[in-house]
Amino acid sequence: MNFPQKMFFYIAIFTFGLSLFILSSCKEKELHAMQKVINESEEVELFLIQDTPTNPIEQDTSKIYLCDYEAYAKVYTSKEQSDSLKNTLLDTTNYISDIEKKCMMMPKYAMRLKAKKDTLDIVFSDNPCAKAVAKHSLLKNPKKEEDKKEDMFYIDLKSENTIIKLIQSIVPKKE
Protein backbone atom coordinates (compact mmCIF):
# COMPACT_ATOMS: atom_id res chain seq x y z
CA MET A 1 0.00 0.00 0.00
CA ASN A 2 1.25 3.45 -0.82
CA PHE A 3 1.03 6.35 1.67
CA PRO A 4 -2.37 7.81 0.53
CA GLN A 5 -3.95 4.36 0.63
CA LYS A 6 -2.57 3.72 4.13
CA MET A 7 -3.85 7.10 5.34
CA PHE A 8 -7.30 6.42 3.88
CA PHE A 9 -7.30 2.97 5.50
CA TYR A 10 -6.35 4.37 8.94
CA ILE A 11 -8.89 7.19 8.66
CA ALA A 12 -11.61 4.69 7.68
CA ILE A 13 -10.75 2.42 10.64
CA PHE A 14 -10.72 5.40 13.04
CA THR A 15 -14.07 6.69 11.73
CA PHE A 16 -15.65 3.24 12.02
CA GLY A 17 -14.36 2.82 15.58
CA LEU A 18 -15.55 6.29 16.56
CA SER A 19 -19.04 5.64 15.16
CA LEU A 20 -19.25 2.34 17.07
CA PHE A 21 -18.19 4.13 20.26
CA ILE A 22 -20.82 6.84 19.77
CA LEU A 23 -23.55 4.28 19.02
CA SER A 24 -22.64 2.16 22.02
CA SER A 25 -22.55 5.18 24.35
CA CYS A 26 -26.02 6.23 23.10
CA LYS A 27 -27.30 2.71 23.81
CA GLU A 28 -25.64 2.78 27.23
CA LYS A 29 -27.46 6.02 28.13
CA GLU A 30 -30.80 4.59 27.06
CA LEU A 31 -30.18 1.26 28.81
CA HIS A 32 -29.31 3.09 32.05
CA ALA A 33 -32.53 5.11 31.76
CA MET A 34 -34.47 1.86 31.26
CA GLN A 35 -32.76 0.25 34.26
CA LYS A 36 -33.75 3.21 36.42
CA VAL A 37 -37.43 2.79 35.54
CA ILE A 38 -37.26 -1.01 35.97
CA ASN A 39 -35.64 -0.66 39.41
CA GLU A 40 -38.19 1.93 40.54
CA SER A 41 -41.25 0.23 39.03
CA GLU A 42 -44.04 -0.65 41.41
CA GLU A 43 -46.24 -2.41 38.88
CA VAL A 44 -45.45 -4.83 36.03
CA GLU A 45 -48.13 -5.62 33.46
CA LEU A 46 -47.75 -8.32 30.82
CA PHE A 47 -49.73 -8.26 27.55
CA LEU A 48 -50.27 -10.28 24.40
CA ILE A 49 -50.14 -7.94 21.42
CA GLN A 50 -50.91 -7.79 17.71
CA ASP A 51 -47.90 -8.54 15.51
CA THR A 52 -48.08 -5.32 13.49
CA PRO A 53 -48.05 -1.76 14.81
CA THR A 54 -50.97 0.63 14.42
CA ASN A 55 -50.34 4.09 13.04
CA PRO A 56 -50.71 6.54 15.97
CA ILE A 57 -53.28 8.54 13.99
CA GLU A 58 -55.46 5.41 13.62
CA GLN A 59 -55.27 4.25 17.25
CA ASP A 60 -58.51 3.85 19.18
CA THR A 61 -58.32 5.69 22.52
CA SER A 62 -60.37 2.96 24.23
CA LYS A 63 -57.64 0.36 23.56
CA ILE A 64 -54.19 -0.15 25.06
CA TYR A 65 -51.15 0.36 22.83
CA LEU A 66 -47.55 -0.37 23.74
CA CYS A 67 -45.00 1.09 21.32
CA ASP A 68 -47.89 1.37 18.82
CA TYR A 69 -48.77 -2.36 19.10
CA GLU A 70 -52.34 -3.05 20.21
CA ALA A 71 -52.74 -5.23 23.29
CA TYR A 72 -55.51 -7.81 22.91
CA ALA A 73 -55.06 -9.61 26.24
CA LYS A 74 -53.61 -8.83 29.65
CA VAL A 75 -51.82 -11.72 31.40
CA TYR A 76 -52.13 -11.97 35.16
CA THR A 77 -48.78 -12.00 36.98
CA SER A 78 -48.21 -12.72 40.66
CA LYS A 79 -45.88 -10.56 42.76
CA GLU A 80 -43.19 -13.24 42.46
CA GLN A 81 -43.57 -13.40 38.66
CA SER A 82 -43.43 -9.60 38.41
CA ASP A 83 -40.26 -9.53 40.49
CA SER A 84 -38.76 -12.28 38.32
CA LEU A 85 -39.61 -10.30 35.17
CA LYS A 86 -37.91 -7.20 36.59
CA ASN A 87 -34.80 -9.16 37.58
CA THR A 88 -34.64 -10.81 34.17
CA LEU A 89 -34.93 -7.44 32.42
CA LEU A 90 -32.03 -6.15 34.53
CA ASP A 91 -29.82 -9.13 33.58
CA THR A 92 -27.43 -7.60 31.03
CA THR A 93 -26.42 -11.04 29.71
CA ASN A 94 -29.75 -11.07 27.79
CA TYR A 95 -28.73 -8.13 25.58
CA ILE A 96 -26.39 -7.72 22.63
CA SER A 97 -24.72 -4.32 22.47
CA ASP A 98 -21.88 -4.78 20.00
CA ILE A 99 -23.86 -5.68 16.85
CA GLU A 100 -27.21 -4.70 15.43
CA LYS A 101 -29.53 -7.38 14.07
CA LYS A 102 -31.12 -6.62 10.72
CA CYS A 103 -34.30 -8.66 10.99
CA MET A 104 -37.97 -7.77 11.20
CA MET A 105 -39.76 -7.57 14.50
CA MET A 106 -42.73 -9.90 14.81
CA PRO A 107 -43.67 -9.24 18.44
CA LYS A 108 -46.03 -11.30 20.57
CA TYR A 109 -45.51 -9.96 24.08
CA ALA A 110 -45.29 -6.58 25.76
CA MET A 111 -44.67 -5.29 29.26
CA ARG A 112 -45.60 -2.04 30.93
CA LEU A 113 -43.62 -1.11 34.02
CA LYS A 114 -44.92 1.77 36.10
CA ALA A 115 -42.88 3.81 38.54
CA LYS A 116 -44.04 6.94 40.37
CA LYS A 117 -43.18 9.36 37.57
CA ASP A 118 -42.29 7.12 34.65
CA THR A 119 -43.82 4.40 32.52
CA LEU A 120 -41.71 2.01 30.46
CA ASP A 121 -43.27 -0.01 27.64
CA ILE A 122 -41.27 -2.87 26.12
CA VAL A 123 -42.37 -5.01 23.17
CA PHE A 124 -40.65 -8.38 22.58
CA SER A 125 -40.12 -10.38 19.40
CA ASP A 126 -38.65 -13.86 19.39
CA ASN A 127 -39.26 -14.72 15.76
CA PRO A 128 -37.51 -14.46 13.28
CA CYS A 129 -34.97 -13.18 15.81
CA ALA A 130 -34.93 -11.92 19.38
CA LYS A 131 -35.41 -8.15 19.54
CA ALA A 132 -37.22 -5.62 21.65
CA VAL A 133 -38.37 -2.04 21.37
CA ALA A 134 -38.84 0.20 24.37
CA LYS A 135 -40.45 3.56 24.99
CA HIS A 136 -40.41 5.62 28.17
CA SER A 137 -40.53 9.15 29.45
CA LEU A 138 -36.78 9.42 30.07
CA LEU A 139 -36.14 9.16 26.34
CA LYS A 140 -36.74 12.24 24.22
CA ASN A 141 -40.43 12.92 23.75
CA PRO A 142 -41.14 14.50 20.36
CA LYS A 143 -44.04 16.89 20.01
CA LYS A 144 -44.83 16.18 16.36
CA GLU A 145 -46.79 13.01 15.56
CA GLU A 146 -44.50 12.10 12.63
CA ASP A 147 -41.48 12.04 14.98
CA LYS A 148 -43.08 9.61 17.48
CA LYS A 149 -41.14 6.59 16.13
CA GLU A 150 -37.88 8.31 17.07
CA ASP A 151 -38.68 8.15 20.78
CA MET A 152 -38.51 4.36 20.68
CA PHE A 153 -35.33 2.53 21.54
CA TYR A 154 -34.50 -0.73 19.76
CA ILE A 155 -32.68 -3.45 21.68
CA ASP A 156 -31.13 -6.65 20.35
CA LEU A 157 -31.54 -9.73 22.52
CA LYS A 158 -29.43 -12.86 22.53
CA SER A 159 -31.11 -15.77 20.76
CA GLU A 160 -31.11 -17.75 23.99
CA ASN A 161 -32.33 -15.13 26.46
CA THR A 162 -34.17 -15.67 29.71
CA ILE A 163 -36.61 -12.78 29.17
CA ILE A 164 -38.70 -14.46 26.48
CA LYS A 165 -38.38 -17.88 28.15
CA LEU A 166 -39.77 -16.45 31.39
CA ILE A 167 -42.61 -14.68 29.58
CA GLN A 168 -43.49 -17.91 27.76
CA SER A 169 -43.57 -19.79 31.07
CA ILE A 170 -46.02 -17.23 32.50
CA VAL A 171 -48.34 -16.92 29.50
CA PRO A 172 -51.08 -19.58 29.59
CA LYS A 173 -50.80 -22.19 26.83
CA LYS A 174 -53.58 -22.27 24.24
CA GLU A 175 -55.62 -25.43 24.39
- pLDDT means over runs of 10, the chain (175 residues): 54 43 51 81 93 93 95 95 93 80 86 89 89 74 47 84 94 74
Distance from CA of residue 49 to its chain's centroid? 14
Q: Considering the entire predicted model, what is its pTM?
A: 0.77
* pLDDT for the residue 18: 34
User: What angle, rounded to 10 degrees, do the helices at 162-170 and 79-90 form?
Assistant: 160
* pLDDT for the residue 117: 81
CATH code for residues 3-170: 3.30.1490.410
* pLDDT for the residue 47: 97
- Provide the residue ranges of all domains of the chain, joining segments of one domain with +: 3-170
